[in-house]
Amino acid sequence: MPRYRRSFADCRLNLLFVPLILSLSLGCTDTLREIPMKQADNLLPPVAKKVPFELNLHGVKRIDDYYWLRDDERKDSQILAHLEAENRYKTAQFAPYEALQQTLFDELIGRLDKDESSVPYKWHSHWYSRRYQLGFEYPVMIRSDSDMRVSQASAAILSEDAQLASQKHNNEQVLLDVNVRASGHDFYGLGGVSISHDESKLAFGEDTLSRRMYKIYFKDIDSGALLDDVLDGTDGGSVWANDNQHVFYIKKDPQTLLGNQVFRHRLGTEQSQDVLVYEEQDDTYYISLGKSLDETRIVLFHESTITSQVSVLDADQPLTQFEPLLPREEGHEYSVSKLGDEYYILTNWQAENFRLMKASESQISDKSQWQEVIAAAADTRIEDILLLKDYLIVQTRTQGVSQIEVRPFNEQASYQLTFNDPAYVVGLDVNASQPSDKLRIYYSSPTTPESVYEYDLSQPMNRRLLKQEKVLGDFDSERYQAERLFITARDGAKVPVTLVYRKDKFTKDGSNPLYQYGYGAYGHTVEPDFDSSAISLLDRGVVYAIAHVRGGEMLGRPWYDSGRMLNKQHSFDDFVDVTKALVAQGYGDSNKVLAAGGSAGGLLMGGVINQAPELYFAVAAHVPFVDIVTTMLDETIPLTTNEYDEWGNPNDKVYFDYMLSYSPYDQMTRQAYPHLLVTTGLHDSQVQYFEPAKWVAKLRDYKTDDNKLLFHIDMEAGHGGKSGRYRRYQDTAQEYAFFLGLLGLN
């Protein structure tokens, strides 16, 4: 579980989680369905034994024949043998498509800029950046005394000696070579990376198992030496106090994997001596840490699905305690940004789509003292703000389209940044200095690679392109067309859809294969951005569609609320209705419809193929959350209790009955299903491996067709799949090979 965690703490306080070292952060007849993947060596699919396990609640008896596939220790030899058998079967069935998969993998990584680097940003006295080097999976974190863009741009024409001289002149320092840290590990996940206030020390988190339990290490930047301090069992992030000696971090419960305790650590002491400064008693809440943009406050966020709270601590007084800015109130969601002695509050108090208020620090706990800055609007969701010294930057979304408005604090008129694509995503990039009169944003569309722009706010609409993602090969954005549609669902709701296709490969006559992606949970908006991987589909004539179904927040908070709890069925209906409409309008061949989703999107896939399997030729369900009732009844499973406000608490019969009505595992019937590719990671901490394992075992028993059902278990990875810049594309190549191979487009 989950499936995706929506976080209001992402940037709502204009945080410096680091400074952020820029995270490391698709004319046939029915005979087509009869084209099977060739069985290799006559290998038969694994058949899991049945061991009936009775589950009884609210007078409903459920028999789970595959409950035995759960092993929290991941050591049961019988279970591991079954999973390995599934992997062998999948490998054998993929044999005819190995060459296609390799071709696709080569295409995907061949488009990547081998020496890609981020745009440097200044924080305090240095310019921070990260860059990849040819042939390496992980980035190198670097900093310099001056803007490195000049030296990077000229590096290609300089001799090696001249490059070294340039680097020496800029006093370029390697903060962290992640390739060195990852060496020898099958999986490596870098957590938070943060720099002390005086820029002398580095803290970074590491996960080498893919369970999202991190160790935090510390490094002296000038000497390059690791300090003796090591913090175990954390969420990977750390926030420095301004004395450069104390750091705050969150420790996770080893059973539930929830971060529930905030500790203060003093450099040079053992972790056992760390001081517990806060413990979250309500296990329906997540907690996270950050720092205000003016660096005066360390901030603790408390978040459940529908309620939030913010507590602060003076960054100059690390031995004090966190104090809430206002009391926790069920159903009240808010975030804050600080400017001088005032807080700007982005709140849903009496505002479904949020409004912006402000109050002094001494009055913020009394909502009656709040002053309205921006009123709520029924058709516009205020998503984010940035407070610079002389400017208020506001990010909104209207009818699914993102907008950024600049509001000067002087008498100058406000204005909006303008963009031309029919579908796009725009947002606030790294803006690390509150006194700055420069604004950085990122921009992307289905046909425009991600770009970083800088605006000089003292000269309205004066912008320059700092960087655009390089797409190697013969990519030309003019070959592709994006569209934005609204599809009328069965209940009259208008569902946004983003489409992209290659112009010379597309004819609106219902002859093209259609790839449809969806998610629809946690208020997470699947943005219409650029994905270089999708080119491999578009160039083969596939139309790529994103169905922005209810449960996401593409159309504001009401769109999210109408796809969660007792409204979840809308997500499935929307996805199915979009498929029907796109086929009816000629965007796709009814015999060549592909669908994909992961995590909570895997739940979407599971529900859709139960309810309308005839619409889909092949489906990929990645780390799918498909056994929702059983999982949400088990509070020992990581993250369960945090999600009662998303799905409902099945201990309550009303929610039990409703969740059971759409649960993919429980509602499986003896019918024909599409070709299916299911993936998981043995160490997944969010959707435990046994959910898809049980689902696949039951599908093998229930399905009445001869279509392929392939199950790939990454025995080293977790929820996010493979680590590394290149290796992660192996999973994408596998999915695309599955789809294209079945379609005969190999």
Give the span between the Cα atoms of 628 and 664, in whole angstroms: 8
Q: Report which of 611, 556, 557, 602 is spatially closest to residue 579, judged by C-alpha positions.
A: 611
Q: How far is CA 148 from CA 92, 152, 194, in A?
A: 49, 6, 20
Give the span between the Cα atoms of 664 and 695, in whole angstroms: 8
Instruction: Give start and end residues of each alpha helix (H) in 177-222.
Output: 178-182
Q: Which residues pair with 443 in a beta bridge?
A: 426, 451
Task: State both tokens at 284.
Answer: 């329906």
Q: DSSP letters along 609-639, please?
A: HHH-GGG-SEEEEES----HHHHHT-TTSTT
Give the span between the Cα atoms of 708 and 243, in whole angstroms: 60
Measure CA 295 to chain center.
27
CB atoms within 10 A of CB 675: 24
Give the span between the Cα atoms of 113 and 468, in whole angstroms: 11
Asked if 643 contacts 704 with a C-beta cutoff of 8 angstroms, the reply is no
Task: State both tokens at 97.
Answer: 């498509």
Asked if 351 contacts 381 with a C-beta cutoff of 8 angstroms, the reply is no
Give the span between the Cα atoms of 252 and 261, in whole angstroms: 7
Q: Report which of 609, 610, 627, 657 is spatially closest to residue 64, judged by C-alpha positions.
A: 627
Helix axes 77-93, 690-702, angle to 10 degrees: 60
Cβ-proximal residues to 48 (8 Å cutoff; 6+ apart), any chain: 66, 69, 82, 697, 700
Give the span between the Cα atoms of 520 and 502, in whole angstroms: 26
Find the radius of gyration of the CA atoms of the chain: 26
Q: Provide the annotated active-site residues.
A: 599, 684, 719
Q: What's 376's DSSP letter?
A: -
Q: Report which of 308, 296, 299 is spatially closest to residue 339, judged by C-alpha positions.
A: 296
Residue 646 CB-half CA count within 13 A: 28
Give the span between the Cα atoms of 591 and 613, in whole angstroms: 12
Cβ-proximal residues to 122 (8 Å cutoff; 6+ apart), any chain: 128, 147, 432, 433
Q: How far apart are the first and last CA of the chain?
A: 35
Helix and strand numbers (H, E) in the chain are 14, 37
Asked if 257 contacts 270 with a C-beta cutoff of 8 angstroms, the reply is no
Q: What's 652's DSSP letter?
A: S
Asked if 551 contacts 446 with a C-beta cutoff of 8 angstroms, the reply is no
The b/e string for 534-568 (b: 16+ C-beta within 10 A; e otherwise) is bbbbbbbbbbbbbbbbbbbbbbbbebbbbbbbeeb
Asked if 538 contacts 558 with a C-beta cutoff of 8 angstroms, the reply is no
Give the span between the Cα atoms of 116 and 106, in whole angstroms: 17
Give the span between the Cα atoms of 375 and 84, in whole angstroms: 57
